[in-house]
Chains A and B, each alone.
Chain A
Amino acid sequence: MTLLWAQGLSLQLAGRNVISDADLKLEGGQVIGLIGPNGAGKSTLARMLAGLQKPDKGHIALMERDMALLAPSVRARQLAFIPQESRIPPPMAVRSLVALGRLPYGEVNETAETHSMVDYALNVTELQDLSNRPANHLSGGERARMNLARALATDTSIVLADEPIAALDPAHALSMMRLFRKLAEQGKGIVIILHDLMLAARFCDYLIVMQEGSVACQGVPDDVLSDDMMHKVYGVTVRRIENAVVPWDLCNS
């Protein structure tokens, strides 16, 4: 089933084309990576897909229904959004913060359904031992997992994450990406904005490359991540080095 289908999305802000004619089709069990240089329009596209920014043109279908016609609470039960994290969370217990993911169902605190979904989310993200810790005492990696747990507690078919591994060390970034992969294997559709192209190649089924508000190219990672694309989109040249620890190097074109 097609979970999310955006067609011909365009947006102008202050007279500038921020997004031009962007398409995206997300199926269940799929991980789509949105990649591209800074300022390419990835976050704006993600905000449009999350229903936070109305497009000037084009339309989005969520679970085969027009997103613009869906009530906010219905949309919230289908799509969870994890924004770029920049704030330190309040000193609420991790469990209480994760339970906020149940708000679209009108239940936050004491129902059995909330308890079981929050337990599941804490389990999947391996946060059970930290469930009573104040959220502001968590490390960056733990905080990223907590944000994912909050999204999982909502039990949506789609998870949309804006740079969820941006501030993480390689080990934490890897474990987060494994988590996203695992969720896709359970049938969820995942859209992730990424800058790490190695992880994008390894964990995404499909990549959409954004450049200056437009989709520069898209396809499976093997086709998309070419030296030619790196040169055209990122303005860098890939140099292959044999027998090196990292078998390639990037230089400015």
Chain B
Amino acid sequence: MSRLGRELTLLNAVLFGIILVLCIASLMSGEAHVVFLHALEDMLAGKHSAGAIIVMQLRLPRMLLAVMVGGTLGLSGAVLQGYLRNSLADPGILGVSGGATLGAVSVFYTGLMQLSILILPLGGLIGALCAALLLIGLVGQGSVLVLLLAGAALSSFTAALTALVLNLVPSPYASFEIMHWLMGSFTDRTFTHVWICLPGVILGTVLMFLSARYLDALVLGEDVAETLGFRLHGLKGVQTRIVLGTSLAVGSCVAVSGVIGFVGLVVPHLLRPLTGYQPSRLLLPSFLGGAVLLLLADMTVRLVSIGGELQVGVLTALVGAPFFFARVILLKRKALS
């Protein structure tokens, strides 16, 4: 195995180890004092003690969602940055997150969420799927530029419609609920949310990993990638696979967690130098890194109390934005030296 190969295996192993530790820590931490080992014993013995219920019904789905959503956002960011050859691309760039947001906000507006806990995430999922289909229809056989323009148009349109719904929302309480949801959170999520999210995440993740070799070829430019035997456009082309993969996975995540920014942008940025700048090598570490970041962020919002639980999307934005300030300063220093 080459030196880079060994370093990559080590990086993945370290990230995987951190995830395992954080998963256990996530199950152990929270407002209620629960002795984790006792809760585990109760669970295995089939006893419905308070500790077992808290860990199984509240903390476990929350932890699973943090891994799934964080991993998906990190992976989608790496795939889109590789495909668009733009290190500022993030999962929101295709407008599918906007579609999921609009779908969920419409559920709030119509009051349908009173009917079932399923309605809100399903609304988000339907919004994401509609946006993805619209995007694929708009782009057709178009180039990367067409994809970017269509994504920007879709993002702006869904943002405008979301603002319209907010504008027309009848009660201040509903307005507050919507604003709260938009900030992104794993609070009060259950296994229902996990099951809603899971199929899209699995299918999308598989499609994204299947695009890995094409992302490598694209490093040499579109023409060379095609002469290396890759089909770019058309229904069987890699572009459709990437758009469908990121849309399914990100749309499913936004539908259950709300909008969580900066993970898809920051994680690939941080890990790229450790993977030899080869897009395919960045995918798995970005998935694991995204999961680490959101597990950490979710535990932080649970443990740090500032007059109520901080929304996880707010925390990632608070951490993410200074990261870019630091990048700007470093780039300036590098240019001057």
Q: Chain A: residues with CB nearer than 8 A to chain B?
A: 47, 50-52, 71-77, 79-81, 83, 87, 89-93, 96-97, 100-101, 103-104, 106, 108-110, 134, 150, 154
* A76-B227, A93-B4, A103-B217 given; 17 more Cβ-contact pairs under 8 Å: A50-B227, A72-B230, A73-B229, A76-B228, A76-B229, A81-B227, A90-B219, A90-B277, A92-B219, A92-B277, A96-B276, A100-B216, A103-B229, A108-B280, A110-B1, A150-B220, A154-B228
Q: Which residues of B contact A52 (CB under 8 A)?
A: 223, 226-227
B175: interface (CB < 8 Å): no
Tell me whether A87 and B221 are in contact (CB under 8 A).
yes
Within the assembled complex, what's the spacing in Å between the Cα atoms of A93 and B281?
A: 13
Secondary structure of the B contact surface, majority rule: loop
Q: Which residues of A contact B180 (CB under 8 A)?
A: none
Interface residue ranges of B199-228 to A (CB < 8 Å): 213, 216-217, 219-221, 223-224, 226-228
B278: interface (CB < 8 Å): yes
Question: In the complex, how many angstroms separate the beta carbon of A132 from the nearest chain B beta carbon?
Answer: 9
Q: Which residues of B contact A75 (CB under 8 A)?
A: 227, 229
Question: In the complex, how many angstroms separate the beta carbon of A136 from the nearest chain B beta carbon?
Answer: 9
Interface residue ranges of B225-276 to A (CB < 8 Å): 226-231, 276
Closest to A154 in B: B228
- Which of A51, A74, A79, A109 is B2 in contact with, Cβ under 8 Å? A109
B5: interface (CB < 8 Å): yes
Tell me whether B229 and A81 are in contact (CB under 8 A).
no
Within the assembled complex, what's the spacing in Å between the Cα atoms of A116 and B224?
A: 22
Q: Chain B: residues with CB nearer than 8 A to chain A?
A: 1-2, 4-5, 213, 216-217, 219-221, 223-224, 226-231, 276-278, 280
Tell me whether A97 and B231 are in contact (CB under 8 A).
no
Within the assembled complex, what's the spacing in Å between the Cα atoms of A100 and B214?
A: 10
* 13 residue pairs from A and B, CB less than 8 Å apart: A50-B227, A76-B229, A81-B223, A83-B224, A92-B219, A92-B276, A100-B228, A103-B216, A103-B217, A103-B229, A108-B280, A110-B1, A134-B277
Within the assembled complex, what's the spacing in Å between the Cα atoms of A214 and B291?
A: 58
Interface centre among B2, B227, B230, B280 (most CB of A within 10 A): B227
Tell me whether B227 and A51 are in contact (CB under 8 A).
yes
Within the assembled complex, what's the spacing in Å between the Cα atoms of A87 and B213?
A: 21
Tell me whether A97 and B219 are in contact (CB under 8 A).
yes
Closest to A84 in B: B223
Q: Which residues of A contact B228 (CB under 8 A)?
A: 76, 100-101, 103-104, 154
Q: Which residues of A contact B227 (CB under 8 A)?
A: 50-52, 75-76, 79-81
Question: In the complex, how many angstroms separate the beta carbon of B256 from the nearest chain A beta carbon?
Answer: 35
Tell me whether B229 and A72 are in contact (CB under 8 A).
yes
Question: In the complex, how many angstroms separate the beta carbon of A80 from the nearest chain B beta carbon?
Answer: 7
The list of the 7 closest CB pairs from A to B, nearest first, reads A76-B229, A73-B229, A81-B227, A72-B229, A104-B229, A92-B277, A103-B228
Q: Which residues of B contact A77 (CB under 8 A)?
A: 229
Q: Which residues of A contact B221 (CB under 8 A)?
A: 83, 87
Tell me whether B223 and A100 are in contact (CB under 8 A).
no
- Which of A76, A90, A103 is B213 in contact with, Cβ under 8 Å? A103
Tell me whether B277 and A108 are in contact (CB under 8 A).
no
Q: Which residues of A contact B229 (CB under 8 A)?
A: 71-77, 103-104
Tell me whether A72 and B226 are in contact (CB under 8 A).
yes
Please judge, given known A-B contacts A76-B227, A97-B219, whether A109 and B277 are in contact too, CB under 8 Å.
Answer: no
Closest to A93 in B: B276
Question: In the complex, how many angstroms separate the beta carbon of A120 from the nearest chain B beta carbon?
Answer: 17
Within the assembled complex, what's the spacing in Å between the Cα atoms of A104 and B213?
A: 10
Question: In the complex, how many angstroms separate the beta carbon of B274 from the nearest chain A beta carbon?
Answer: 12
Closest to B3 in A: A132
Interface centre among A89, A93, A104, A109 (most CB of B within 10 A): A109
Within the assembled complex, what's the spacing in Å between the Cα atoms of A47 and B221?
A: 14
Closest to A85 in B: B221
Tell me whether A96 and B223 are in contact (CB under 8 A).
no
Q: Which residues of A contact B278 (CB under 8 A)?
A: 92, 96
Question: In the complex, how many angstroms separate the beta carbon of B53 from the nearest chain A beta carbon?
Answer: 47
Question: In the complex, how many angstroms separate the beta carbon of A44 from the nearest chain B beta carbon?
Answer: 12
Q: Which residues of A contact B1 (CB under 8 A)?
A: 110
Q: Which residues of B contact A103 (CB under 8 A)?
A: 213, 216-217, 228-230
Within the assembled complex, what's the spacing in Å between the Cα atoms of A203 and B217?
A: 31
Q: Which residues of A contact B226 (CB under 8 A)?
A: 51-52, 72
Question: In the complex, how many angstroms separate the beta carbon of B42 from the nearest chain A beta carbon?
Answer: 46
Closest to A106 in B: B213
Within the assembled complex, what's the spacing in Å between the Cα atoms of A235 and B198?
A: 67
Closest to A86 in B: B221
Question: In the complex, how many angstroms separate the beta carbon of B192 from the nearest chain A beta carbon?
Answer: 40
Tell me whether A91 and B277 are in contact (CB under 8 A).
yes
Interface centre among B217, B221, B277 (most CB of A within 10 A): B277
Q: Which residues of A contact B4 (CB under 8 A)?
A: 93, 96
Question: In the complex, how many angstroms separate the beta carbon of A33 from the nearest chain B beta carbon?
Answer: 20
Q: Which residues of B contact A87 (CB under 8 A)?
A: 221
Closest to A108 in B: B216
Within the assembled complex, what's the spacing in Å between the Cα atoms of A74 and B216?
A: 19
Question: In the complex, how many angstroms separate the beta carbon of A61 from the nearest chain B beta carbon?
Answer: 17
Within the assembled complex, what's the spacing in Å between the Cα atoms of A89 and B5?
A: 21
Within the assembled complex, what's the spacing in Å between the Cα atoms of A93 and B277?
A: 8
Tell me whether A47 and B223 are in contact (CB under 8 A).
yes
Question: In the complex, how many angstroms separate the beta carbon of B24 from the nearest chain A beta carbon?
Answer: 33
